[in-house]
A and B are shown apart, each in its own frame.
Chain A
């Protein structure tokens, strides 16, 4: 009995010992960032996971990048010319060094882009530059791309991490870059303990003078969103990427932390399988579009953390039209009922909404939509499935309607063509419309902004009218920051690139 008590007390004492080292003053500037998902791998030409891309933001450079206002700006290419609409010439920065010390030249650009184009690499970046027919190193610092046809989204495609410039010798020595890195980026990989932490250290030779401002960036994987906020509050983390609207709202009320939010490029949509009855009838789709109240869905399902959008992500301000100026953006229950009656469903019908309980799967959105559809007599049943089953149904186009989160782009061609063209790779609405196809094709062949703007304005009206999907809102990208940080900027695609210019007070 006595011995047992002593043992218990000893154990308790052990647990109470404060974390050794946690209070030691850091000799170097470190930013510790909490994320909810571990990187799957680090090969920029292979990975698709969002979590991996956030590490690649810091390890690699691309020819061009997107800045915080969604404009294309110089990265490894100092400048570029576009002599004809099928030829691009890039002039590279001089003296840029890979992390292994070797200088980056036009040969590396040729190698990297060819690696992406090689079907054996199976790169998700291939479709961004698929029409490139020749990549030539004109001289040590000049690269020429020749295209089989005009591709106005080329620069936007090249800004993707999937088209990062890598060092050939490191790829060849390791087979691929999943565990190692071969970049020119502001930070270099030092240590990676899977599912725990990843430590990046400053690249002392980074081409931007004076950057990065800190010595180290440490990623820590913490799946629980509430713990992420607790981590920033307690000072164990300097920054955390949080998606959960409820937690963000809680953080916004907290004087100890700063919340940065802005609408991202992802888009929440309500998709129809246009090959299935009754959604083969455009009037039914328009009726559903009128019945769904996007602001209400945004408020309830996302705690208001986002912005209502049309067919183009609202953050792409150069192109996107306000949803209020587009047709069938409701809510208008009477008009919706009228359309249903004309389509032969005066008493509504029963339909399934496929969704999943992951964030992307949009269960909360489906629940609000279910309620709103009731008002026009449509009885919606929720088909809540595990994420893998959801993907399976998505790939096989096995659904009536589905809640989706689509990755948009600041470039209208790249997002709309693959999504709504009758031959588009991710058109799983099975949507076929000659007028839409025509506009998408002319948008792709035009080069001047004024011409393209006219085309894409028409297209946005047309897509709202034909309604292959109901465009709801763009969720915010959120970062919760400690007050010690300064200089960080959010990019709508979630990029952490601006950690390069972020400083931390001791």
Chain B
């Protein structure tokens, strides 16, 4: 297990290197440079001033040279300085990351909380209420874009004190209750899509497992329906669901970008959004690297959980069977 983890962590190096190359050159291909965005359409500057500004914004040297310089500093742990605010990039990201992670985890939790029970009930035959709930979640989750749902939530709940953050976000450490209350709607907006996916996977997987002989045996032994479903059927049916949930967690992090803007939450997503608007290259690069790292780590974690849940899988002996 230890060797497997080490191997996977080592694989981070080429991944991050590749990502760094792509993001560095790609952001510079977008029309409009950081300096242009900074100057806007209102400010005039003398030629001497423009020279100085070009130097400050690093637009006086070729991009490959800039890349090598940036990479050099990156290897020493220096992510550079924001072109817009003049602040170091890494502390800014670090201060925003906890909120985005909390949002992602809450979204995942809500997705599982809604998706798995719904999937189980859906697999147990027709019941009018659960059927309706099933369809509503499926419809909302799969067909409504997150940002639209989020905007509707803001409209519907903005009269409710404390439900919609009004630039008065409080961290979990400062006031856990208020923090969770504020994040409930945003994480629901992010998580409901995954909830629908999980629901479908759980349902299909349960339907398959419930057909199996060992389930019939368990019933024949006289076990209660509840025990059969929760202990015998779900244990096997849950495996594909873990895979799906794991691989989607990275995308939840991406969903946080849009949702944070709609709900005015000061997370990493909003930092990324404004960095892109302003062509603040060092910040965009930093955030993309952090997200890439998280993506790899989440996938690793998924594989580890998979191995724990399914005893047939041995990670060290050459991967999955």
Interface residues of A (CB under 8 A from B): 1, 4, 7-8, 11, 14-15, 17-22, 34, 38, 40-41, 43, 48, 119-120, 122, 124, 126-127, 130, 175-176, 178-179, 193-197, 219-224, 226-227, 230-231, 233-234, 236-237, 360, 386-395, 404-407, 418, 424-426
B213 interface contact, C-beta 8 A: no
A residues less than 8 Å from B44 (CB atoms): 127, 418, 424-426
B residues less than 8 Å from A7 (CB atoms): 113
Contact of B84 among A41, A219, A222 (CB under 8 A): A41
Interface residues of B in 176-204 (CB under 8 A from A): 177-178, 180-181, 184
A8 to B175, CA, bound (A): 21
A237 and B166 form a contact (CB under 8 A): yes
Interface residues of B in 71-98 (CB under 8 A from A): 84-87, 92, 95-96
B41 and A394 form a contact (CB under 8 A): yes
B155 interface contact, C-beta 8 A: yes
6 shortest interchain CB distances as A-B pairs: A425-B44, A220-B167, A388-B32, A19-B162, A195-B266, A230-B158
Interface residues of B in 238-291 (CB under 8 A from A): 261-262, 264, 266, 270-271, 274, 277-279
B161 and A234 form a contact (CB under 8 A): yes
B306 → chain A closest CB, angstroms? 24
Name the segment of B15-23, B45-53, B60-68, B135-143 touching the other chain: B45-53
B125 interface contact, C-beta 8 A: no
B36 and A126 form a contact (CB under 8 A): no
A193 to B181, CA, bound (A): 20
24 A-B residue pairs with CB within 8 Å: A11-B184, A15-B163, A15-B181, A18-B161, A19-B178, A21-B175, A22-B162, A38-B274, A41-B85, A41-B86, A48-B43, A127-B46, A178-B86, A194-B266, A196-B168, A197-B167, A221-B264, A221-B266, A227-B158, A231-B158, A236-B166, A388-B37, A392-B32, A404-B41
Contact of A389 among B32, B39, B53, B155 (CB under 8 A): B32
A234 and B159 form a contact (CB under 8 A): yes
A124 to B162, CA, bound (A): 40
Contact of B177 among A14, A120, A406 (CB under 8 A): A14
A223 and B161 form a contact (CB under 8 A): no
B30 interface contact, C-beta 8 A: yes
A221 and B167 form a contact (CB under 8 A): yes
A424 to B42, CA, bound (A): 12
A residues less than 8 Å from B49 (CB atoms): 119, 122, 126
**Residue picked from B43, B46, B164, B262, most chain A C-beta under 10 Å:** B43
B98 → chain A closest CB, angstroms? 13
Contact of B167 among A1, A196, A386 (CB under 8 A): A196
A157 to B161, CA, bound (A): 44
A126 to B86, CA, bound (A): 20
B180 and A425 form a contact (CB under 8 A): no
A residues less than 8 Å from B2 (CB atoms): none
A426 to B39, CA, bound (A): 11
Given A193-B266, A196-B167, A40 contacting B32 (CB threshold 8 A):
no
A8 to B117, CA, bound (A): 12
B residues less than 8 Å from A388 (CB atoms): 30-32, 36-37, 277, 279
B105 interface contact, C-beta 8 A: no
Instruction: Identify the closest chain A residue to B177 (Cβ).
Output: A17
B169 interface contact, C-beta 8 A: yes
Instruction: Identify the closest chain B residue to A33 (Cβ).
Output: B167
Give 18 new A-B contacts, CB below 8 A, not counting A220-B166, A221-B266: A11-B184, A15-B180, A34-B166, A40-B85, A41-B86, A48-B38, A126-B45, A126-B46, A179-B86, A195-B264, A222-B167, A224-B154, A227-B164, A227-B166, A227-B264, A230-B158, A230-B159, A387-B277
A residues less than 8 Å from B177 (CB atoms): 14, 17, 20
B183 → chain A closest CB, angstroms? 10
A145 to B86, CA, bound (A): 31
Instruction: Identify the closest chain A residue to B157 (Cβ).
Output: A230
B42 and A406 form a contact (CB under 8 A): yes
Contact of B31 among A197, A360, A392 (CB under 8 A): A392
B56 interface contact, C-beta 8 A: yes
A11 to B43, CA, bound (A): 52
Given A19-B181, A41-B85, A130-B46, A34 contacting B117 (CB threshold 8 A):
no
B40 interface contact, C-beta 8 A: yes
B154 and A395 form a contact (CB under 8 A): no
A196 and B164 form a contact (CB under 8 A): no
A122 and B52 form a contact (CB under 8 A): yes
B152 → chain A closest CB, angstroms? 11
B residues less than 8 Å from A21 (CB atoms): 175
Instruction: Identify the closest chain B residue to A224 (Cβ).
Output: B154
A176 to B32, CA, bound (A): 26
A122 to B59, CA, bound (A): 15
Instruction: Identify the closest chain A residue to B42 (Cβ).
Output: A407
B270 → chain A closest CB, angstroms? 5
A34 and B45 form a contact (CB under 8 A): no
A104 to B86, CA, bound (A): 27
B162 and A391 form a contact (CB under 8 A): no
A389 to B177, CA, bound (A): 43
A residues less than 8 Å from B164 (CB atoms): 227, 230
A234 to B157, CA, bound (A): 12
A426 to B155, CA, bound (A): 41
Contact of A15 among B45, B184, B266 (CB under 8 A): B184
B residues less than 8 Å from A387 (CB atoms): 32, 277
A41 to B38, CA, bound (A): 12
B residues less than 8 Å from A126 (CB atoms): 45-46, 49
B residues less than 8 Å from A234 (CB atoms): 158-159, 161
Given A19-B162, A236-B161, A119 contacting B84 (CB threshold 8 A):
no
A418 to B42, CA, bound (A): 10
B residues less than 8 Å from A220 (CB atoms): 166-168
A217 → chain B closest CB, angstroms? 13
B167 and A119 form a contact (CB under 8 A): no
A residues less than 8 Å from B271 (CB atoms): 194-195
B residues less than 8 Å from A237 (CB atoms): 166
**Residue picked from A176, A223, A231, most chain B C-beta under 10 Å:** A223
B residues less than 8 Å from A389 (CB atoms): 31-32
B residues less than 8 Å from A194 (CB atoms): 92, 95, 266, 271
B residues less than 8 Å from A4 (CB atoms): 117
A237 to B161, CA, bound (A): 12
**Residue picked from B37, B85, B169, B180, most chain A C-beta under 10 Å:** B85
B47 → chain A closest CB, angstroms? 10
A22 to B264, CA, bound (A): 18
A178 and B85 form a contact (CB under 8 A): yes
B residues less than 8 Å from A17 (CB atoms): 177, 181
A22 to B164, CA, bound (A): 13
A343 to B43, CA, bound (A): 35
A20 and B175 form a contact (CB under 8 A): yes
B residues less than 8 Å from A390 (CB atoms): 32
A residues less than 8 Å from B163 (CB atoms): 15
A426 and B261 form a contact (CB under 8 A): no
B122 → chain A closest CB, angstroms? 14
A193 to B167, CA, bound (A): 10
A11 to B183, CA, bound (A): 12
Contact of A119 among B52, B85, B92, B261 (CB under 8 A): B52
Given A18-B161, A120-B52, A392-B32, A196 contacting B37 (CB threshold 8 A):
no
B59 → chain A closest CB, angstroms? 12
A406 to B262, CA, bound (A): 28
A236 to B41, CA, bound (A): 35
**Residue picked from B48, B49, B53, most chain A C-beta under 10 Å:** B49
